[in-house]
Amino acid sequence: MLLAVNNISVVYSDVIQVLKGVSLSVEKGKIISLLGSNGSGKTSTLKAISGLLKPENGKVTDGEIIFQGRHIQNQSPEIITRMGIIQVLEGRQPFKYLTIEENLRVGTAIRPNKSYKDDLEMVYNYFPALLARRRARAGYCSGGELQMLVIGRALMAKPELLLLDEPSLGLAPLIVREIFGIIKKINEEQGATIVLVEQNANMALQIAHYGYVMENGKIVMEGRAEELVENPDIKEFYLGMAASGDMRAYRDVKSYRRRKRWL
Amino acid sequence: MDFFIQLVVNGLSVGFIYGISAMGFVMIFKSSSVLNFAHGELLAMGAYIFLVLVTWVELPVYAAFLLTMATCFSLGFIVERLFLRPLIGEPLIFVIMLTVGLAAMFKGLILLIWGGNLHTFPDFLPSWLSLNWGSVAVQPVYTLALVVGTIFLVLFGIFFKFSSQGIYMRSVADNQRAALSLGVNVKKVFALSWAIAALVAGMSGIILGIINGVNVHDLSAIGLKVFPVVILGGLDSIGGAIVGGLIIGLLETLTGGYISPSLRDVVPYIVLVFILMVKPYGLFGQVEIERV
């Protein structure tokens, strides 16, 4: 087991509780997908793992996070990133005034003074679109290019565990397909372990090995991706299909009635 | 005509020194968005340390210069460690107020040790440093400022553009959250930017000390002069600081020469207001890149 999250609670500013006992485990070399609606606690879970809760005044108040046998809850991001956990933030956070190549070089921050030329080449191989734009300022690149950039930047760190927060956000379906294809390829070729947080459950379950569904700060369902795709509730609420498997029509206005509460 | 050329030469020389004095200020603002009100006192520290090494310890000038640079670098590092690090994550206004306090502390410390009198460096500049074209002359100290300032500028340019540490520093200035997520050591970046800023401040303090003599009140007043310079050039642009310095220097000497010496401190600010109405980020300040 590469990462084990045991029953963690997360509280922001000492009063706002967002996670109420979340447990999950991540096996080496697998893609784990974390699904759920807005505000269900997916991003907070990732931040608890990567240590980025701390600068936002959040804290793991209960439970434990174990990575490669070491407790890492409430550690600083400097330490956690150096252990090999890199989070790609939601909403593409490039360094706007740096060029594409300089952005990628920041990815080497956890292992400075080492040669990065081979890694640059590896990233450009996965994302040829970046090679053509390497001297352009990131602030002037398109959304698709930026998503490739931030994933590539994280790859430069050679992470043991890559946390991807909504890579599909605000991108055209074709670009989403392309990026998910590359994520799958990175997992297969580099053996990278990936935790993927997504709203786009359909795409996420296509490439993931295992999935968790979150609601209201709790895990409400888990299972192998193939099983989750077949689950009638998942089908209806996350994949947008009626229980029968057909596309749900908007005229079925009463469909919310069937909404099952897992709590 | 000679009078005009001499004024322009003087203005550019003084302006260049304003520019390099402002460089350290920009460095800190760029990496941590902190306005350092203790900048003038850092200049003064550099000048006094050099004074001690040259007149009391009687080191050769080159050795004294290098040792002053090293001391200022460590001083900046220590100041960040002791006073600023505990405030990381607190609202910026606290940090800025802290620099106001630091300014008072340094000033008091200098007055305590050296008093408020004017000290002077021994005259060590060789006369071949002065340049003459006909009746137009450049004093040796301005030639020195030009040479040393240019060396520093080129070195910093290379450092920030090509070295990994320089790129990490720029990444923190650009997007601190993203830099944290990639494991950039933000504390180290802040410490380094204070150290570099103190080093540049010390360097310009020495040059100002050669020109005006070493006096804590005069030197810390120059610290205030960096404000129009950096606001004009753009708060986050090192090149802008130099250009801003040159413009302010030129305006000052031209006003002093042609209109009235008593207006020389006023006209630059009037021009500043007009320029800011056209370019609110300063001449070379980064305009926020907005994505829709």
pLDDT for the residue numbered B116 = 84
- Probe site for chain B from A96, A111, A147 (most B CB atoms < 10 A): A96
Task: Report residue A61's pLDDT band, with 50, 70 and 90 as the boundaries.
Answer: very high
Cα→Cα distances B252→A62, B140, B218, B229, Å: 64, 21, 17, 12
Q: What is the pLDDT of residues B65-116, one digit of tens each?
A: 999 999 999 999 999 999 988 887 778 889 889 999 999 999 999 999 998 8
Any chain A CB within 8 A of the CB of B182? yes
Structure tokens at A181: 């294809």
Any chain B CB within 8 A of the CB of A91? no
- Probe site for chain A from B181, B235, B281 (most A CB atoms < 10 A): B181
pLDDT for the residue numbered A131 = 94
pLDDT for the residue numbered A130 = 94
Average pLDDT score, chain A = 88
Q: Do B167 and A98 touch (CB under 8 A)?
A: yes
Nearest Cα residue to A98 out of B30, B232, B183:
B30
pLDDT score of B287 more than 90: no
Q: Which residue has the higher pLDDT, B145 or A251?
A: B145
Q: Domain coordinates of chain A in residue numbers?
A: 3-230, 234-263
- Probe site for chain B from A72, A97, A120, A163 (most B CB atoms < 10 A): A97
Please give the torsion angle defined by the CA atoms of residues A9, B89, B170 and A123, in that order, rounded to the nearest 10 degrees. Answer: 0
Task: Report residue A241's pLDDT band, with 50, 70 and 90 as the boundaries.
Answer: low
Q: Which residue has the higher pLDDT, A253 or A195?
A: A195
Nearest CA of chain A to the CA of B189: how many Å? 12
Nearest CA of chain A to the CA of B183: how many Å? 5
pLDDT for the residue numbered A249 = 58
Output the CATH code of domain A3-230.
Answer: 3.40.50.300
pLDDT for the residue numbered A254 = 52
Radius of gyration of chain A (CA): 19
Average pLDDT score, chain B = 88
Q: Which amino acid is at A73?
A: Q
Structure tokens at B109: 């410390």
Residue A153 to residue B189: CA distance in whole angstroms: 19
Nearest CA of chain B to the CA of A24: how many Å? 22
List the alpha helices (DSSP H) in B33-137: 39-51, 61-79, 92-114
Any chain A CB within 8 A of the CB of B91? no
Residue A82 to residue B60: CA distance in whole angstroms: 45
Residue A212 to residue A221: CA distance in whole angstroms: 6
pLDDT score of A251 more than 70: no
Q: Which amino acid is at A222?
A: E
pLDDT for the residue numbered A179 = 93
Nearest CA of chain A to the CA of B176: how many Å? 9
Which residues, 6+ apart, have CB-to-CB distance to B193 below 8 Å? B27, B28, B30, B31, B32, B169
For B184, name the nearest residue in chain A, comparing CA atoms only.
A109
pLDDT score of A261 more than 80: no
Q: What is the pLDDT of residues A85-137, one digit of tens each?
A: 999 999 889 999 899 999 999 999 998 778 889 999 999 999 999 999 999 99
Residues 245-284 of B with CB under 8 A from A: none
Longest dimension (CA), chain A: 61
State pTM to two decimals: 0.85
pLDDT score of B292 more than 80: no
List the alpha helices (DSSP H) in A52-170: 77-83, 100-106, 117-126, 128-132, 143-155
Structure tokens at A103: 């952005």
pLDDT score of B19 more than 80: yes
Phi/psi at A258 (nearest 5 deg)? -75, -10
Instruction: Report the pLDDT averaged over residues A179-191.
Output: 93
Q: Domain coordinates of chain B in residue numbers?
A: 14-232
Give the rounded percent of residues in chain A with a pLDDT score beyond 90: 72
Residue A2 to residue A142: CA distance in whole angstroms: 35
